């Protein structure tokens, strides 16, 4: 390794990845006066340049279809031109492979803040039973942590990032520290009534969006465009809320375009450095530190560990158990929409609100699994209202109505009359879903890539069918007509493509037994005591609660623990 | 030509709007930016239009006339709003086709197919045919499209059956000699509809009132009452 440039400085902590986990870690650590280096594989984020908030589609000649109409050829930006998704399902020069017979989509963001720049901001704390799934139904594994143990960190995370919501004493939606939620829109009131009749709770949504000024950040201005990035940082993003303020402490050194390749160890189990590729110069460099925090995203962290084969870790750093890369999970997704005649002719009003749905339905059949043919549960997310028109908004209607004055009239009448439901359910970890290093392929930086294996089981398919029945009932109860799936569409779209919900977790899981887990309950490696993993990798199960808030909470707790261990001289 | 597209600069520029936001929304009170105020059109197409009649980049004069007629038939003017011509649909399609040879070929082939079919039917190309003839052609394409849709739905069902392989030759017949035209028409239609509803006139036609900056979000009581009254749940 004589070509490698070494930096003379030894940081207290080296953090790899600047998303929810890494952002939280550097903020908590630098606040305590601990010096940190933060490696981000993409460029610096400049919100003023990057975010397309408030733009009208006609302000660009291509209206959002992108140059040459890429959108029409399926080559447009994921989720549309105006979103701030930096990255995508495929990254030029950074491939991954998928095993034959498997399907998997891996969304990667390469920019400071990672996927928190555009994510849905759904912020659901886990329930007590989510930490003990094995005890409940004998499937999967229990977490080495109880709800009571982590609850104070959920409180801290909610209070710090600012999460809307309200307390209902529901087991599937524990009480929390909430900002006032915005009022429901007209279609959401109908959905709520519908759910009331069906015995499904429908309560204010929990999103990381400020409905009042909070911790020095401005309140939401209700443009409804969180996915474009928020210029006022009223919607949480780790770049604006964690990383930028940490840079001001003088304790954080940010390395952008720095792609971590592997960890170095001292031969006695301790991590001493990280080799990364400086993408701008295509050179390898090393950063040294006393402790290391991986937060590169569940699969990317697994990849770094598996690629770090050292004398003391022949299976990869922190992988004595062999679980790194295993038990990969995504969320079970299924969507259905319906047309609601009651909404026809509604006086037009602004439905932008705070971006996402103002209500949601937490799981309502806890402990009633004798009535179900699948384990665990799901929550329901809502769509509807008068969305800002964009390319593709009316292709379906245009096909239905042909062309001409009649089509135009129909589009006008039906606009805003559709409601959509998306189920987000829990997958049971299985032996067929994992990632490993593909020995045949390296990316453009020479780093061996991941190969994905993935299978939904009957549990997930049955859950998706239950979602379909539930959504149909909600739509019909409000007098709506289901835009039903044809049999062939169900065969293909009856369940989300693995990975496509972008809740991939579980590849560096925690546990109390070092033989079957990589991390202890503080996200600390059982083997390398100065190594922590604070992204979705540590998840033992993937409850029906979107993972980001849990990453925020566990990363915070891990950083507190690491600081304390460093103070005591244990790390 | 629509005013909205060439309007050079409205009262509030985007930069001003962003500055207002950055300095805190309370200064804006309960007010919000209107569609007009937020408009700050500085597109190349708009500049070109202001400079004189638009000159197509990808299409010949004949193709351009055909395209303009097609988009006008797809989204015509009515009592509420103007046609796709006023929303810049031909310019939008021309611009993208000029940047993408694959898209240009779809249009070149489509125009040629359409004119050949029109000559066969009426002895003249699309653009110089009578309105009834043009409409009859488009109606035939829409009818053929529905036929194709039914076929593909039936085929999906056959495919799952055990006899599919044996009879697949029958079931995969396109079923209409207009299939190529259907595909082309779908391209023109989807791009026209996109251009229309992403333009200022189209957005106004829909009555979209969002994309504004508000200091408080409220749902009008009468809107909720209207929806409830018309729903199975009845008035509040």
Task: Please indicate whether, in this complex, the C-beta atoms of A479 and B232 are within 8 angstroms of each other.
Answer: yes
Burial category of B235 from C-beta neighbours within 10 Å (exposed 0-12, middle 13-18, buried 19 and up):
exposed
Domain extent, residue B47, equals 1-53+200-236
Within an 8 Å CB–CB cutoff, is residue B79 touching chain A?
Answer: no
**Nearest in space to B160 (alpha carbons), one of A489, A547, A153, A134:** A489
Q: Calculate the alpha carbon distances from A277 to A90, A139, A257, A462 in Å.
A: 20, 41, 8, 44
DSSP A199: T
Looking at the DSSP bridge assignments, the partners of residue A329 are A505
Tell me, yes or no, whether B72 and B101 share the same domain. yes
Tell me, yes or no, whether B98 and B142 share the same domain. yes
Position B48 in a domain: yes
Tell me, yes or no, whether B183 and B69 share the same domain. yes
For residue A316, give the 3-state DSSP assignment.
coil
User: What per-residue string of b and e applies to A163-194 under the rule 16 or more CB within 10 Å gives b?
Assistant: bbbeeeeeebbbebbbbebbebbbbbbbbbbb
Number of domains in chain B: 2
Q: CB pairs below 8 Å between A and B: how many?
A: 238
pLDDT of residue B138: 98
Within an 8 Å CB–CB cutoff, is residue B173 touching chain A?
Answer: no
Nearest to B211 among A62, A342, A352 (CB): A352
**Nearest in space to A354 (alpha carbons), one of A487, A221, A215:** A221
Per-residue pLDDT of chain A in tens (571 residues, 90 and over written 9): 445 565 578 999 999 999 999 999 999 999 999 999 999 999 999 999 999 999 999 999 999 999 999 999 999 999 999 998 788 999 999 999 999 999 999 999 999 999 999 999 999 999 999 999 999 999 999 999 999 999 999 999 999 999 999 999 999 999 999 999 999 999 999 999 999 999 999 999 999 999 999 999 999 999 999 999 999 999 999 999 999 999 999 999 999 999 999 999 999 999 999 999 999 999 999 999 999 999 999 999 999 999 999 999 999 999 999 999 999 999 999 999 999 999 999 999 999 999 999 999 999 999 999 999 999 999 999 999 999 999 999 999 999 999 999 999 999 999 999 999 999 999 999 999 999 999 999 999 999 999 999 999 999 999 999 999 999 999 999 999 998 666 656 666 689 999 999 999 999 999 999 999 999 999 999 999 999 999 999 999 999 999 999 999 999 999 999 999 999 999 9
Tell me, yes or no, whether B97 and B45 share the same domain. no
Position B166 in a domain: no
pLDDT of residue A562: 98
Tell me, yes or no, whether B127 and B217 share the same domain. no
Interface probe for B, chosen from A51, A55, A56 (most Cβ of B below 10 Å), is A56
Query: How many C-beta atoms lie closer than 10 Å to residue A226's C-beta?
Result: 26
Position B76 in a domain: yes
Q: Calculate the alpha carbon distances from B199 to A41, B74, B82, B191 in Å.
A: 38, 15, 11, 12
pLDDT of residue B161: 63
As a whole number of angstroms, the distance between CA A433 and CA A325 comes to: 9
Please give the structure tokens belonging to residue A529. Answer: 């005591």
Shortest distance between the Cα of A362 and any Cα of chain B, in A, equals 22
Tell me, yes or no, whether B181 and B226 share the same domain. no
Position B73 in a domain: yes
As a whole number of angstroms, the distance between CA A96 and CA A260 comes to: 16
Q: Which helix (H) or strand (E) holds A425?
A: strand A418-425
Query: How many C-beta atoms lie closer than 10 Å to residue B17's C-beta?
Result: 19
Task: Please indicate whether, in this complex, the C-beta atoms of A488 and B157 are within 8 angstroms of each other.
Answer: yes
CB proximity list for A10: less than 8 A, separation 6 or greater: A288, A289, A290
Please give the structure tokens belonging to residue A51. Answer: 């975010």
As a whole number of angstroms, the distance between CA A206 and CA A215 comes to: 18
Shortest distance between the Cα of B225 and any Cα of chain A, in A, equals 8
**Nearest in space to A240 (alpha carbons), one of A117, A354, A157:** A117
Position B135 in a domain: yes
| B contacts of A345 (beta carbons < 8 Å) | 226
Three-class secondary structure assignment of A511-564: CCCCCCCCECCCCEECCCCCEEECCHHHCCCECCCCCHHHHHHHHHHHHHHHHH
Within an 8 Å CB–CB cutoff, is residue B127 touching chain A?
Answer: no
Per-residue pLDDT for B209 more than 80?
yes
| A contacts of B15 (beta carbons < 8 Å) | none
Tell me, yes or no, whether B28 and B93 share the same domain. no
Position B46 in a domain: yes
Q: Calculate the alpha carbon distances from B179 to A148, A403, A500, B175 in Å.
A: 63, 17, 33, 8
CB proximity list for A237: less than 8 A, separation 6 or greater: A113, A116, A117, A229, A230
Task: Please indicate whether, in this complex, the C-beta atoms of A395 and B190 are within 8 angstroms of each other.
Answer: yes
| B contacts of A492 (beta carbons < 8 Å) | none
Tell me, yes or no, whether B97 and B86 share the same domain. yes
DSSP A236: -
**Nearest in space to A481 (alpha carbons), one of A338, A344, A384:** A338
Within an 8 Å CB–CB cutoff, is residue B27 touching chain A?
Answer: no
Position B187 in a domain: yes
* Structural domains for chain A: 1-49+76-121+124-162+236-326+436-450+505-571 (3.50.50.60), 181-216+332-425+457-494 (3.30.410)
Tell me, yes or no, whether B111 and B18 share the same domain. no
Within an 8 Å CB–CB cutoff, is residue B73 touching chain A?
Answer: yes
As a whole number of angstroms, the distance between CA B94 and CA B70 comes to: 13
As a whole number of angstroms, the distance between CA A555 and CA A246 comes to: 15
What's this model's pTM, rounded to 2 decimal places? Answer: 0.91
Task: Please indicate whether, in this complex, the C-beta atoms of B211 and A388 are within 8 angstroms of each other.
Answer: yes
Shortest distance between the Cα of A496 and any Cα of chain B, in A, equals 20
As a whole number of angstroms, the distance between CA B119 and CA B70 comes to: 16
Position B154 in a domain: no
């Amino acid at each position: 390794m004589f070509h490698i440039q070494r930096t003379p400085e030894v940081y207290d902590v080296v953090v790899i990845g600047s998303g929810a986990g890494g952002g939280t870690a550097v903020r908590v650590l630098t606040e305590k006066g601990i010096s940190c280096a933060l490696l981000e594989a993409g460029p610096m984020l400049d919100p003023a340049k990057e975010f397309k908030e408030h733009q009208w589609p006609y302000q660009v000649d291509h209206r959002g279809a992108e140059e040459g109409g890429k959108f029409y050829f399926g080559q447009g930006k994921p989720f549309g031109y105006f979103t701030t998704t930096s990255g995508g399902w495929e990254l030029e020069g950074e491939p991954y492979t998928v095993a034959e017979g498997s399907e998997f989509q891996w969304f990667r963001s390469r920019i400071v803040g990672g996927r928190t720049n555009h994510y849905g901001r759904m912020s659901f704390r886990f329930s007590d039973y989510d930490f003990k799934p094995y005890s409940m139904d004998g499937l999967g594994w229990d977490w080495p942590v109880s709800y009571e143990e982590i609850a104070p960190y959920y409180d801290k995370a909610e209070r710090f990032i600012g999460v809307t919501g309200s307390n209902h004493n529901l087991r599937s939606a524990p009480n929390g520290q909430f900002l006032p939620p915005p009022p429901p829109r007209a279609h959401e009131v109908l959905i709520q009534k519908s759910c009331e009749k069906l015995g499904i709770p429908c309560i204010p949504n929990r999103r990381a969006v400020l409905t009042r000024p909070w911790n020095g950040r401005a309140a939401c201005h209700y443009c409804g465009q969180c996915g474009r990035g928020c210029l006022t940082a009223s919607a949480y993003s780790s770049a604006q809320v964690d990383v930028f303020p940490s840079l001001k402490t003088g304790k954080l050194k940010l390395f952008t375009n720095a792609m971590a390749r592997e960890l170095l160890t001292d031969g006695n189990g301790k991590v001493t450095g990280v080799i990364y590729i400086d993408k701008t110069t295509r050179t390898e460099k090393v950063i040294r530190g006393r402790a290391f925090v991986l937060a590169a995203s569940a699969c990317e962290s697994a990849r770094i560990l598996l690629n770090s084969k050292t004398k003391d870790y022949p299976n990869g750093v922190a992988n004595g158990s062999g679980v790194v890369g295993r038990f990969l999970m995504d969320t079970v997704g299924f969507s259905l929409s319906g047309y609601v005649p009651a909404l026809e002719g509604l006086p037009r009003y602004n439905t932008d609100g705070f971006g996402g749905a103002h209500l949601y339905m937490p799981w309502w059949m806890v402990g009633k699994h004798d009535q179900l043919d699948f384990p665990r549960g799901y929550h329901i997310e809502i769509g509807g209202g008068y969305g800002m028109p964009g390319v593709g908004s009316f292709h379906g209607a245009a096909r239905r109505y042909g062309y001409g004055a009649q089509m135009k009239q129909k589009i006008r009448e039906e606009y805003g009359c559709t409601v959509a439901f998306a189920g987000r359910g829990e997958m049971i970890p299985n032996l067929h879903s994992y990632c490993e290093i593909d020995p045949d392929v390296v990316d453009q930086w020479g780093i061996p890539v991941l190969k994905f294996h993935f299978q939904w089981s009957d549990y997930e398919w049955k859950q998706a069918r239950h979602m379909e029945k539930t959504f149909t009932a909600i739509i019909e109860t409000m007098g709506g007509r289901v835009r039903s799936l044809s049999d062939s569409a169900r065969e293909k779209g009856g369940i989300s493509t693995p990975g496509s919900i972008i809740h991939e977790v579980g590849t560096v899981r925690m546990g109390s037994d070092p033989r079957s887990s990589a991390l202890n309950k503080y996200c600390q490696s059982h083997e390398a005591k100065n190594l922590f993993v604070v992204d979705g990798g540590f998840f033992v199960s993937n409850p029906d609660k979107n993972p980001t808030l849990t990453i925020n909470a566990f990363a915070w707790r891990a950083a507190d623990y690491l600081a304390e261990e460093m103070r005591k001289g244990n790390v | 030509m629509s005013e909205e597209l060439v309007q050079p600069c409205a009262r509030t520029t985007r930069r001003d709007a962003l500055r207002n936001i950055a300095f805190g929304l309370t200064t804006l009170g309960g007010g919000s930016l209107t569609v007009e105020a937020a408009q700050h059109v500085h597109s190349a197409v708009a500049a070109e239009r202001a400079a004189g009649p638009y000159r197509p980049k990808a299409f010949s004069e004949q193709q351009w006339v055909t395209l303009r007629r097609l988009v006008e038939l797809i989204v015509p003017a009515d009592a509420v709003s103007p046609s796709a011509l006023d929303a810049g649909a031909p310019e939008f399609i021309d611009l993208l086709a000029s940047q993408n040879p694959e898209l240009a070929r779809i249009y070149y082939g489509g125009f040629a197919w359409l004119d050949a079919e029109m000559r066969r039917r009426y002895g003249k190309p699309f653009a110089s045919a009578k309105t009834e003839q043009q409409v009859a052609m488009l109606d035939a394409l829409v009818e053929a499209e529905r036929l194709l849709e039914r076929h593909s739905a039936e085929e999906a069902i056959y495919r799952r059956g055990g006899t599919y392989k044996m009879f697949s030759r029958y079931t995969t017949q396109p079923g209409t000699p207009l299939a190529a035209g259907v595909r082309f028409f779908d391209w023109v239609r989807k791009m026209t509809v996109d251009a229309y509803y992403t333009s200022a006139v189209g957005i106004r036609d829909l009555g979209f009132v969002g994309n504004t900056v508000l200091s408080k979000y409220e749902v009008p009581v009468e809107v909720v009452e209207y929806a409830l009254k018309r729903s199975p749940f009845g008035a509040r």
